[in-house]
Amino acid sequence: MKTHWDRRAFLVRTVLAATGLAAGGAGCGLRKAALPSRTFMLKGPVASALPDAGENPAPAGVLLVRPFKVATAFDSRSFVVRRSESEYATDAYHAFLVSPGAMLTDLVAEWVRGLKIFAAVTTGGSQLAPSHALEGDITELYADYREAGAPKAVLAGQFRLLHPLMGGASPMVWQHPGGGEVAMAKAGADALVAGWEQGLGDWCRGLERMLRQRPSGTGRSSA
């Protein structure tokens, strides 16, 4: 009788051990199957060809591109997804490499340099005294997945040009709202990034027309 119970206990322990190994193996398999995290940087628009020499004044002034402000709801490295009128969520697997405000500030500054409208373009920390300042507010930056089969990349906000720079009393020359929705062929991080890049390019083309009307002169700076 004792031998019978010993054998039965042995079989029970063997089954339990095998079950534990199988469960552990399944857990490892699930972990391996999890999607990896991916990080992205947007590509900025390419500066357009310069107008004819007679229409293109010599570069003048120094433009300070101040750090863009991103609305709190979208000031996240993780991509933000809109699922309904009131439901938003962050994407656990896809994110910007750096904060969106810093990334967009650098992209727009580099694009303005390529336009060769100003003698120099800085983003702060320079000994050059700026004559103009460009400010940006990003009010929307998300993936719109509210409508099944019709995803959209949303990027919107406004730019402001200040001149001359006189601290808090600096007058605003103009304000340029822009951006909006870009239809995506399908939902997904790569298509979303491409949509944001297209939206930024369209917005900057409208901004270019405004920048080419910049006031001349160096102004007085305390920025």
The domain segmentation of the chain, as residue ranges, is 1-34, 38-211
The per-residue pLDDT for range 176-190, each reduced to its tens digit, is 999 999 999 999 999
Strands (E) in 145-199, as ranges, are 152-162, 172-183
Mean pLDDT of the chain: 85
The per-residue pLDDT for range 4-49, each reduced to its tens digit, is 545 555 444 544 444 444 444 444 444 555 666 999 999 999 998 6
Among candidate residues 144, 140, 124, 87, the one with its CA nearest the CA of residue 221: 124
Gap between the Cα atoms of 171 and 174, Å rounded: 9
Please, is 111 exposed, middle or buried when counting C-beta atoms within 10 Å of its C-beta (0-12, 13-18, 19+)? buried
Gap between the Cα atoms of 151 and 145, Å rounded: 5
Mean pLDDT score, 208-223: 65
CATH fold, domain 38-211, is: Rossmann fold (3.40.50)
Global model pTM greater than 0.85: no
| CA dihedral of 110, 113, 117, 119, whole degrees rounded to 10 | 140
Mean pLDDT score, 100-110: 98
CB 163 within 8 A of CB 170: yes
Mean pLDDT score, 113-129: 95
